[in-house]
Amino acid sequence: MNENKKHRFLVMSHRFRSCHKTYFFDVYENKYGSHYLKLTQSIRDMSFSVDNPQYFCETLHIYEDIIYEFQQYFKDAIRIIEEKNKSNPKIKTDPKGEGLTPKNKMSMNDIRMFVKKHGTYTI
């Protein structure tokens, strides 16, 4: 087993599917106690048969030292998308009308405290 992977601890994992794509949101703790977010997009190649599917994965690691800056840019991008979609009613980003932001927001400190108390956190 790879030395780096041996010391990773999964703190939180969430998966959702959209058509032929699957998205994974995973929070890991490294061997030094720092946390990072691993975003993975798995895309099914529709040109292959159902019996022999082929997938392509893209992964992005967001480390703890830049997570809040990443969050701010991500929020700005969502806000712009929501504003643009208001002017184009054919596009629906949120059919329930709840906006694109989650109801329950957890900071890295919240996740750390939860993990210390309960051992792991999974949505």
Task: From first to last of the 123 residues of the chain, give the pLDDT tens digit.
Answer: 455 555 589 999 999 998 888 999 999 998 888 999 999 999 887 777 777 778 889 999 999 999 999 999 999 999 998 888 887 666 555 555 544 444 445 555 666 655 555 555 444
SS3 track for the chain: CCHHHHCCEEEEEEEEEECCEEEEEEEEECCCCCEEEEEEEEEEECCCCCCCCEEEEEEEEEEHHHHHHHHHHHHHHHHHHHHHHHCCCCCCCCCCCCCCCCCCCCCHHHHHHHHHHHCCCCC
Domains plus CATH for the chain? Answer: 3-118 (3.10.450.700)
Q: Is 0.75 topped by the overall pTM?
A: no
Residue-level pLDDT at 75:
93
